[in-house]
Structure 1
Amino acid sequence: MPAKQMTVCFSGYRPEKLPWGYDEDDPRCAALKERLRQAVTDACEQGYRHFICGMARGVDTYCGEITLALRAQYPEITLEAAIPCPSQPEGWTPEQQARWQALVERCDYETMVQDHYSAGCMQRRNRYMVDHAQRLIAVFDGQEGGTRRTVEYAMRRGLEIVYVDME
């Protein structure tokens, strides 16, 4: 695995917590994706080469796809899928499952955090990402939930946090 000092992880909201929900054609979603692209580009320009994606719907997926798209400009970057458990995409629509699978297939590394679902597996995945990174790129506006716990854990671990505004 690449060195922690050269690694960035991502955290952010699932579509249910985003103002536009699942409508990625919404101009606010396009604007967020552009801000995320800039944050990932800035990390690349500063020497970061490895990125860890938690593979959830919403911001995680956006970040993974943006990182892969930036390979054209930065061919040396790598993307790791930090999958909380094998059943992560179960219950998603067929389109969401296909998008998840396509993203996993393009990753350079795949880390299965645990072999079965449990109440704490998403948090374990988040801790894994933070423990293996130096920087966190977060879409966070104070809402309760997994992103908040990830940001708080990253703060305790001393990661540099780059906040990306949702709107």
Structure 2
Amino acid sequence: MDTDLMNKIIAGTGHRPEKLGGYKDEVFTRLIALCSASLKKMQATEVISGMALGFDQALAIAAIELEIPLVAAIPFKGQDDKWQQQDKERYEDILFRAKQIVYVDKTTKYSTEHIGYSAEKMQKRNEYMVDHCDELLALFDGTASGTANCVNYAETQRKPVLNVWKSWVKYRGF
């Protein structure tokens, strides 16, 4: 049997903590649980995370806890420069445990001329993730955002999107 038929690469996109209930540990723990359940349901064999605060890092941790190989798709070196110390430490721990780290702005197809942060680099990261996955896992509330851009790009590329927003709202007890 061809093992490629059994591989299922899941990329993830979702909102930052501000849209998900804040930076509290209990919110992050619930995010990890939602990501774990989703990855199991989707039968992921590899996960690509954009490594932003919030959903992206919860997805990365869920993959690590489930022993699913993780690819950290970083939009640019210094992504974490303006983060709090504890967030930087979690980021470094995830990177240490990742199977692969890709600096998307340094790859030929996705390179940009901007230095440091730019919306273009964030979009190139989204495109990289979608281009390299079989399905997209989204935590998307329907509002205009980088998450919306990623979901829209996945749809234009005809990649299946599983949006778990309704489950998140129900799980959080809104």
TM-score bracket, shorter-length normalisation? 0.7 to 0.9
Q: CA deviation at 1:11?
A: 0.3
- Give me the whole-angstrom Cα distance separating, in 2, the residues matched to 1:31 and 1:55: 17
Q: CA deviation at 1:24?
A: 2.6
Secondary structure, counterpart of 2:143 in structure 1: coil
Q: How high is the sequence identity, in percent, across the aligned residues?
A: 30
The one-character-per-residue Cα deviations of 1:40-61 (angstroms, maximum 9, x if unpaired) are: 01122xxx31110000000001
Letter in 2 for 1:135: E
Secondary structure, counterpart of 2:82 in structure 1: coil
Q: In the alignment, which residue of structure 2 is the partner of 1:53?
A: 49
1:113 to 104, 111, 118: 104
Q: CA deviation at 1:37?
A: 1.3
Q: CA deviation at 1:6?
A: 2.3
Letter in 2 for 1:129: M
Answering whether residue 15 of structure 2 is matched by residue 16 of structure 1, we say no
- Give me the whole-angstrom Cα distance separating, in 2, the residues matched to 1:57 and 1:152: 21
Structure 1 residue runs without a partner (length 5+): 72-76
Letter in 2 for 1:67: A
Please give the TM-score of this superposition, normalised by the length of structure 1.
0.86
Distance 1:32 1:101, change over 3 A: closer
- How do residues 118-157 of structure 1 correspond to structure 2 at under 5 angstroms? 118-119=117-118, 120-157=120-157
Q: CA deviation at 1:9?
A: 0.1
Secondary structure, counterpart of 1:8 in structure 2: strand
Q: CA deviation at 1:70?
A: 0.6
- Give me the whole-angstrom Cα distance separating, in 1, the residues matched to 2:144 and 2:134: 23
1:62 to 58, 62, 65: 58
- Give me the whole-angstrom Cα distance separating, in 2, the residues matched to 1:163 and 1:96: 25
Answering whether residue 59 of structure 2 is matched by residue 89 of structure 1, we say no
Q: In the alignment, which residue of structure 2 is the partner of 1:74?
A: none
Higher helix residue share:
2
Matched-pair contact (CA < 8 Å) for 2:138–2:164: yes
- Give me the whole-angstrom Cα distance separating, in 1, the residues matched to 2:56 and 2:31: 12
Matched-pair contact (CA < 8 Å) for 1:54–1:60: yes
Please give the TM-score of this superposition, normalised by the length of structure 2.
0.82
- Give me the whole-angstrom Cα distance separating, in 2, the residues matched to 1:82 and 1:129: 7
Answering whether residue 94 of structure 2 is matched by residue 103 of structure 1, we say yes
Distance 1:3 1:102, change over 3 A: farther
Q: Which has the higher contact order (CA 8 A, sep 6+)?
A: 1
Distance 1:3 1:57, change over 3 A: farther
RMSD of Structure 2 on Structure 1 (CA) = 1.9
